[in-house]
Amino acid sequence: MKAAVVVFPGSNRERDIALALQRASYTRPVYVWHGETELPAGTDLVVLPGGFSHGDYLRCGAMAALSPIMDAVKAHAARGGYVLGVCNGFQILAEARLVPGVLMRNASLRFVCRDVHLKVEATDTAFTGGFKPGQVVRVPVAHAEGNYFTDDETLNRIEGEGQVAFRYCDADGAVTEAASPNGSARNIAGVFNAGRNVLGMMPHPENMTEDVVGGTDGAILFDSLAKALA
C-alpha cells in the first residue's frame, strides 16, 4: 500500500496516522505539504489527518478544502483512488463535498476527548473489510465540531446505499442518544461517498492500535486497508 498523508498548516495527528499505517502495511507513508499540486506517483491511499488546519478559522476544514493539493485529491477520488479523512480530515472532506453532510459544533458546545464505542455498519469496503458485521469497537474521539448533520432525505439515501460506515453506540452495541459524544444525526460517526472509496470519520482509530495505549480496535481499519491495497 502506497499511502500519502497530507499535512496542512495546523495538522497535528499526521504522525499518529502515519505510524498506524506503517504498523499495518510495513511501509512508511509519504507526507505531502498542502501547497503541492500533485500526489506522489502510484499513491493508493490519501489520508487527511486530524488537527486544526488553518486554526479552524472561518469554519473547520473550509480553508483546507481549497488548498492546492485538494484538486489532486479530488481527481484521485474521482479515479476510484482511496481517501481517508479523520476528524479534521473528515471536516475537510465534507467542505470539499467529497462525502455528504457537514460537521457542526458538538451538541454539548464543548470539546470532547474520550473513548467511544462504534458499531460497524458496513464491512464490504476496503476500509472496513476486517471488521465483523455489526462489530462493536472502542476508539477515542477528540473534537469540538463532530456533530454530523444532513437533511433527512440524504440521511435516508446514504443509509439505503450503505454509505454509513460507523455509528456511535454503547458498549453493548445499542445506538442511543446517550452513546453519542456530539449529537450526530442518527449517531453517524463515519460516512462513505457513493463509490465507497472515500471515508470520513470523526473518531481516531490511529490512537487505538496498540495494547499499551489502551487497545487495538483501531488497527483493524488500517489492517483492512493494507490487505485491500496490498
Partner 1 sequence: MTKITPEIVAEHGLAPDEYARVLEIMGREPSITELGIFSVMWSEHCSYKSSRLHLKKLPTTGPQVICGPGENAGVVDIGDGLAAVFKMESHNHPSYIEPYQGAATGVGGILRDVFTMGARPIAILDPLRFGSPEHPKMRHLVSGVVAGIGGYGNCMGIPNVGGECTFHAAFDGNILVNAMTVGIAQQDKIFYSAAAGVGNPVVYVGSKTGRDGIHGATMASAEFDEKSEEKRPTVQVGDPFVEKLLLEACLELMAGDAIVAIQDMGAAGLTSSSVEMASKGGVGIELIMDDVPQRETGMTAYEMMLSESQERMLMVLKPGREDQARAIFEKWGLAFAVIGKVTDTGHLVLKHKGEVVGDIPVGPLTDQSPLYDRPWERTPKRAVIDAATVKGSDDLGATLETLLGTPDLCSKRWIVEQYDHLVGGDTIVRPGGDAAVVRVRDTATKGLAMTTDCTPRYCLADPVEGGKQAVVETYRNITAVGGLPLAITDCMNFGNPQRPNIMGQFVGAIEGMAEACLALDYPVVSGNVSLYNETMGTGVQPTPAIGGVGLLEDYTRSASIRFKAAAETILLVGETAGWLGASIYLREIAGSEDGAPPPVDLAAEKRNGDFVRGLIRHGEVVTCHDVADGGLLVAVAEMALAGGIGATLSTPETEVPPHAFWFGEDQGRYLMAVPPDRVEAILDQAKAADVPVTVIGTTGGAAISVDGRHKVSMSALREAHEGWLPRYMAS
Q: Of 3, 39, 76, which is closest to residue 228 (Cα–Cα)? A: 3
| Those residues with Cβ within 8 angstroms of residue 113's Cβ, 6 or more apart along the chain or in another chain | 140, 141, 142
**Interface with partner 1 (CB under 8 A), residue from 214, 227, 228, 229:** 214
As a residue count, the chain comes to 230
Residue with Cβ nearer partner 1 (164 or 221): 221
- Which residue is listed with cell 481516531? 204
Q: Which member of 60, 87, 121, 143 is catalytic? A: 87
Told to judge if 76 belongs to the known catalytic residues of this protein, a careful annotator would answer no
Residue with Cβ nearer partner 1 (95 or 206): 206
Q: With CB under 8 A as the contact rule, which of the stretches 47-55, 76-84, 147-155, 164-172 interacts with partner 1?
A: 47-55
Per CB under 8 A, 142 contacts partner 1:
yes
Rounded to whole angstroms, the Cα distance separating 160 from 154 reads 10
Told to judge if 206 belongs to the known catalytic residues of this protein, a careful annotator would answer yes
| 9-to-63, 66, 67, 137 alpha-carbon distances in Å | 10, 13, 10, 31
Residues with a catalytic annotation lie at 87, 204, 206
Instruction: List residues near partner 1 by CB under 8 A.
Output: 9-10, 12-13, 15-16, 19-20, 50-52, 54-57, 110-114, 140, 142, 144, 204, 206-207, 209, 212-214
